Chains A and B, each alone.
Chain A
Amino acid sequence: MSAIIVATPGAHIDLCNPANSSTSQLLMRTTAHSLNALLRAHERGRPESNTGTHSLRNNFAHIIPTRPTPTSATVASSSGHLLPSIEGFVSIVTAALNTKTAVLVTALVYVERLRKRLPVSATVAADTPYRVFLAALMLADKFWSDHAVSAENFVVAAGGAFSRREIAAMERALLKLLGFRLYVSADDIRQHARRLGFAIDDETSLPGVK
Chain B
Amino acid sequence: MENYKRKREKQRVRIRTKYEIIGFISSGTYGRVYKARPREGPGIELAIKKFKPEREGETRPSTGISQSACREIGLCRELHHENVIDLCEVVMDDNAIHMVMDYAEFDLLSIMQHHTQHLRKPMAELVIKSILWQLLNGVAYLHGNLVLQRDLKPANIMITSSGVVKVGDMGLARVFRRPFQPLYSGDKVVVTVWYRSPELLLGSRHYTTAVDMWSIGCIFAEMLALRPIFKGEEVKMEKKQIPFQRGQVLKILEVLGSPSKEQWPNIELMPDYLHMKQFRHYTNSLKSWFASTGLKSESGFQLLSSLLEYDPDKRISASDAMDHPYFKEDPKPVKHPFLEHNISYPKRRLTLDELCDTKPHMSHVHHHQQQQQQQKMHAETGINGSSAANTAGQ
Contact = CB atoms under 8 A, between A and B. Distances in A.
Interface of A: 1-5, 15-16, 54-55, 58, 61-62, 66, 100, 102-103, 138-139, 142-148, 150-151, 163-165, 167-169, 171-172, 175-176, 180-183, 186, 189, 200-201, 203, 206-210
Interface in B74-118: 74-75, 77-78, 90, 92, 95, 97
B241 to A, nearest CB: 15
Contact of B179 (A102, A138, A164, A176): A102
A66 to B, nearest CB: 7
B272 to A, nearest CB: 19
Given A2-B179, A61-B4, A54 B77 contact: no
A186 B179 contact: yes
Contacts of B75: 183
Interface stretch (B56-64, B323-331, B376-384): B56-64
Q: Which 5 A-B pairs have the closest CB atoms?
A: A3-B179, A208-B208, A182-B74, A3-B178, A165-B62
Contacts of A147: 185-188
B70 interface: yes
Nearest to B11: A55
Question: Most chain-A Cβ atoms within 10 A of its Cβ — which of B74, B92, B209?
Answer: B74
Given A61-B4, A175-B92, A180-B90, A145 B78 contact: no
Interface residues of B, number: 47
Contacts of B62: 151, 163-165, 167-169
Given A143-B71, A172-B95, A208 B11 contact: no
Nearest to A204: B178
Given A171-B65, A210-B313, 16 more contacts: A2-B182, A16-B182, A142-B67, A143-B74, A146-B174, A147-B187, A148-B67, A151-B54, A151-B62, A151-B63, A181-B74, A182-B70, A182-B74, A183-B77, A208-B176, A209-B143
B185 A206 contact: no
Contacts of A148: 67, 70
15 contacts: A1-B182, A5-B179, A58-B8, A138-B64, A142-B65, A144-B181, A145-B185, A151-B63, A163-B62, A175-B92, A180-B77, A181-B77, A183-B75, A210-B317, A210-B320
Contact of B180 (A3, A138, A171): A3
Contacts of B71: 142-143
Given A172-B92, A206-B146, A209-B143, A146 B70 contact: no
B283 to A, nearest CB: 28
A144 B180 contact: yes
B44 interface: no
Nearest to A103: B181
Contacts of B11: 54-55, 58
Nearest to B180: A102
A5 B180 CA distance: 11
Nearest to A58: B8
Contacts of B185: 145-147
A3 B179 CA distance: 4
Contact of A102 (B8, B146, B176, B181): B181
Contacts of B177: 186, 206
Interface string B143-182: 1001000000000000000000000000000101111111
Contact of A58 (B1, B7, B92, B320): B7
B73 interface: yes
B256 interface: no
Nearest to A190: B179
Contacts of A4: 179
A103 B78 CA distance: 19
A164 to B, nearest CB: 5
A3 B78 CA distance: 23
Contacts of A145: 181, 185
B70 A143 contact: yes
Contacts of A189: 179
Nearest to B69: A142
A1 B177 CA distance: 11
B176 A164 contact: no
A10 to B, nearest CB: 18
Contacts of B187: 147
Nearest to B99: A180
Contacts of A2: 178-179, 181-182
Question: Most chain-B Cβ atoms within 10 A of its Cβ — which of A62, A138, A186?
Answer: A186
Contacts of A1: 178, 182, 206
A111 B317 CA distance: 38
Contacts of A150: 63
